[in-house]
């Protein structure tokens, strides 16, 4: 599980998680090696402050559905978005995608 806390805290991830919700805190916490912080802002939202913060394992970036989300983020927010990478996807949809990828990999 990951906790994204203040600058004094570090984020800890246990186990082989491919992504974790980073609840309760500001984005200044240290990100564990091998993870990328992202903010899921939902399809139409321009406000990254209201989004759900997640830590995504770099191994997920080669998945076609994650690549498609990155292309959507580029189209909606551009290459020069400041701060944490914003992804135009709802938390529910992202959870469903990741669960489908995990169950497909387990088959």
Per the model's pLDDT, the better-predicted residue between 42 and 24 turns out to be 42
Per the model's pLDDT, the better-predicted residue between 26 and 32 turns out to be 32
Cα 48 to the center of its chain, rounded Å? 12
| Residue closest to 51 by CA, chosen among 81, 10, 13 | 81
- Per-residue pLDDT tens digits for 28-74: 578 889 999 999 987 554 444 578 899 999 989 999 999 999 999 99
Per the model's pLDDT, the better-predicted residue between 14 and 63 turns out to be 63
**Longest Cα separation, the chain:** 41
Which residues pair with residue 23 across a beta bridge?
Answer: 3
pTM: 0.68
| pLDDT score of 16 more than 90 | no
What pLDDT sits at residue 89? 92
What pLDDT sits at residue 102? 84
Secondary structure (DSSP) of 22-67: EESS-TTSBPPTTEEEEEE--SS---GGGSEEEEEEGGGGGSHHHH
- Per-residue pLDDT tens digits for 87-96: 999 999 999 9
Residue 78 in 3-state DSSP?
A: coil
Which H or E run contains 83? none
Cβ atoms of 41 and 61 within 8 Å: the answer is: no
Cβ atoms of 73 and 88 within 8 Å: the answer is: yes
List the domain boundaries for the chain. 23-106
What pLDDT sits at residue 10? 45
Per the model's pLDDT, the better-predicted residue between 14 and 74 turns out to be 74
């Amino acid at each position: 599980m990951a906790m994204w806390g203040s600058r004094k805290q570090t984020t800890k991830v246990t186990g082989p998680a491919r992504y974790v919700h980073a609840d309760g805190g500001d984005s200044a916490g240290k990100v564990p090696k091998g993870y990328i912080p992202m903010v899921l802002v939902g399809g139409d939202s321009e406000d990254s402050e209201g989004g759900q913060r997640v830590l995504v394992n770099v191994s997920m970036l080669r998945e076609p559905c994650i690549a498609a989300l990155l292309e959507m983020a580029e189209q909606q927010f551009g290459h020069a978005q400041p701060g944490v990478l914003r992804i135009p996807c709802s938390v529910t949809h992202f959870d469903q995608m990741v669960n489908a990828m995990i169950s497909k990999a387990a088959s």
